[in-house]
Chains A and B, each alone.
Chain A
């Protein structure tokens, strides 16, 4: 596997200009002869489909939901960063770049992150032009807030629904292209294989989720904007259908998978209520701007929060990190919450929770002000928990939220399979080992609106503009293997075999292993154990899973079974990657690599690289390649929030 990151030569600030100039262009009259498949309709996929359509390409857009307006980007609450410096508080493109690469604990590429900071401003302009109702000041200018511990106010927002508004913006732009005949929608279609013809991506195999039919689709290039893999843990803040299938099957067809162990665990989620819990709900971390995190000082505390006197409370983030206090980065806040609960200080029925208390803020600013800022979040919290955060503190606990790892891509967002691109959370490129708040929306839209539409032309210009078809034997082979998979998943149906278990049973079992051994804290022993257990669960799954219904009809159990089958393979790769990375960095905390004060200890000498995994066929060990990270414009420093 060759890893050529294709980073342009020259000064950081000029690289993107240089790339755009040296990229080959597709003749405007020829653009209509090219077809591009875009899988996924979140921010990255929606933005890419709309923009490619506007440019004149013929786009085939695929999503598993019933509409292109529903992908999980929609759930992002807090906001989107850009270095507009509208507040005149010292922001700049370089500062946004620096904060993002430092936040990622120096495990991302300088050139990619700098480009992200450069194009971020265009996203805000684009969004406003599309009619996105961003928050405004009285005078009519755009409002900003400080978010996720940033020292400048650079976050744009639309109440607590920024993701929704940006996604609907991209969706509307895409619908305009559907009306113009440039984008064809294929909703309720799941990509189940990538078709590689003579080493290049030339199509996909999908399952029509309504009819169960296996379909072939061809194009000159394929874009995967299929999101992250947080649901490998079963419980996460991801939508129920979020999955790794498209990325994983592409990996099995030759796309390198980078840093799979890099997972962000978000500190402010609503704690688990019981066994029937199906997913976790995030509370925007903007709450930490005014909420104070604490636990009782004594284990076995039984009093209500309000009855515990100040002197018996431990505001542990303020105590341990006096300069950042409650605004420490997500990974630090999460690990400390886990630590408090491991020490027996957790609160709530399950003792897996810590308080997030607004009483002081309400006293200081008044209830009105606090409700204006967080009213919708309080409302959402109360709906789920039946508890009012203005009367008693919220309870929060960390939950799996975002995956920084993903398909390896070069500077042009192309994977190791020529003609196959990955955008948004599905790629690995911009967040390193930890993503900063309000950066996911920024990256998804940057990739979709402003990067991919430029770089894909550089590939297409070298491809003959001949009509595509699905006749090649690679399509036969991929379609057959998709059919075989369905048959294999359904083999126990109606067999009368005893001891069969449902798909969810195995998903939960895998999730527990991942959470325990490859979650907030990881160590060699646990990871090695997981490497033994996961293949056992997988084997049991294939022997004993029951999937009711048939293959040639709408069958949600079968959809889930396919996704869980892939998680069962992918989980093992994550563990392998976590085992290999013997340092702590960002969201990846190896317990063996700590400072004397129990903080994460990065090891730049040995691990300043991206780990890229190559699939070597069923039953064979994958091979790891390294892309070395060079820092020419910033000096990696140990993060300190003391």
Chain B
């Protein structure tokens, strides 16, 4: 765990509100420990700004263990930065070299209006889940858990999809700003499980419809989403979603 320190230049996006004009601001940072996380580097910068009475850079973050999905920014052109399968909070400064210039921008997608600096509004993702990303079962007394048998490999595939943290990087990275990896993961998880199959006919159509309403684009098989997904979710789940969508669309026209 030996760490050294580096000096870097940060070019970071500042924007006071959704309709304000934004711009990049440059900050030279000295003696950043390579053992620090990326967000701790931002903390150091913000602490310095606050000490000068200036306004720190606003950014979303919470768990800092790569699971809550709150953090995210585009670093040197890549959502969540250069490391594969890594959220921004789990990116460490050892991934950068002394003298590097690091460009930091918010996630950009029509469906994610900028709130301030690096903070964007991802509530559209909640709306998509509200459109059908659940199994309709009330709290009460469902049957004994072991009365639904699920083969191990199916449970594992469902878990691969369920690992989604809802960060929105897929939409931010997609040339069409499509959160289809996010939606595909949820539809696929539920379609794989017997519990989820009762509502399979309506779920995909309804969730994809909600996606359209929120100004997101469609999948063009660019696979950038898969590349930036911090949980390594495969676009195979988008393929399953497409099958579910087709099945649902035909069923609806009956």
Contact = CB atoms under 8 A, between A and B. Distances in A.
Interface of A: 47, 50-51, 54, 65-72, 74-75, 84, 86, 122, 124-142, 158-159, 161, 163-165, 168, 171-173, 175-176, 178-179, 185, 187, 210, 239-241, 271, 273-279, 281-282, 348-349, 380, 383-387, 395, 449-450, 453, 493-494, 500, 502-504, 546, 548-549, 553-554, 556-557
A179 B136 CA distance: 12
Contacts of B66: 380, 383
Contacts of A130: 134-135, 137, 195
A453 B139 CA distance: 10
Nearest to B164: A168
Contacts of A553: 116
Given A131-B193, A173-B134, A66 B122 contact: yes
Contacts of B149: 139-141
Interface stretch (B31-39, B216-224, B238-246): B31-39
Contacts of B137: 126, 129-130, 173
A161 B67 contact: yes
Contacts of B49: 548
Given A131-B189, A273-B1, A140 B135 contact: no
Interface string B10-40: 0000000000000000000000110111011
B58 A556 contact: yes
Contact of B130 (A54, A176, A453): A176
B85 to A, nearest CB: 8
20 contacts: A50-B139, A66-B122, A66-B123, A67-B125, A75-B65, A124-B145, A126-B139, A127-B145, A128-B145, A128-B195, A129-B148, A133-B156, A133-B162, A133-B193, A158-B159, A175-B133, A178-B126, A386-B92, A386-B94, A554-B116
B152 A549 contact: no
Nearest to B120: A66
B210 to A, nearest CB: 10
A142 B139 contact: no
Contact of A75 (B63, B83, B115): B63
A450 B138 CA distance: 12
B122 A383 contact: no
A276 B152 contact: no
B60 interface: yes
Interface of B: 1-3, 32-33, 35-37, 39-41, 43-44, 47, 49-51, 53-56, 58, 60-70, 83, 86, 90, 92, 94, 115-116, 119, 121-123, 125-126, 129-131, 133-146, 148-152, 155-156, 158-159, 162-163, 165-166, 189-190, 193, 195-196
A274 B51 contact: no
A175 B126 contact: yes
Query: Interface SS of chain B: helix, strand, loop or mixed?
Result: loop
B47 A502 contact: yes
Nearest to A170: B139
A272 to B, nearest CB: 10
- The 7 A-B pairs of least Cβ separation, nearest first, read A140-B149, A172-B134, A129-B142, A273-B35, A133-B158, A133-B159, A136-B155
Contacts of B56: 548, 556-557
Nearest to B146: A141
Contacts of B40: 276-278
Contacts of A173: 134, 137, 139
Interface-central residue, B2, B86, B129, B135, by most chain A CB under 10 Å: B129
Given A276-B33, A554-B115, A158 B162 contact: yes
B138 A546 contact: no
Nearest to B87: A383
A133 B126 contact: no
B145 A125 contact: yes
Given A139-B149, A164-B165, A70 B69 contact: yes
A165 B164 CA distance: 10
Contact of B68 (A72, A86, A277, A349): A72
Nearest to A122: B141
A281 B129 CA distance: 29
Given A69-B166, A274-B33, A276-B44, A135 B155 contact: yes
A69 B134 contact: no
B53 A86 contact: no
A554 B119 contact: yes
B241 to A, nearest CB: 15
Given A66-B123, A158-B162, A278-B37, A240 B196 contact: no
B64 A386 contact: no
A387 B69 CA distance: 25
B33 A137 contact: no
Contact of A546 (B3, B50, B90): B50
A273 B145 contact: no
Contacts of B189: 131, 133
A131 B64 CA distance: 27
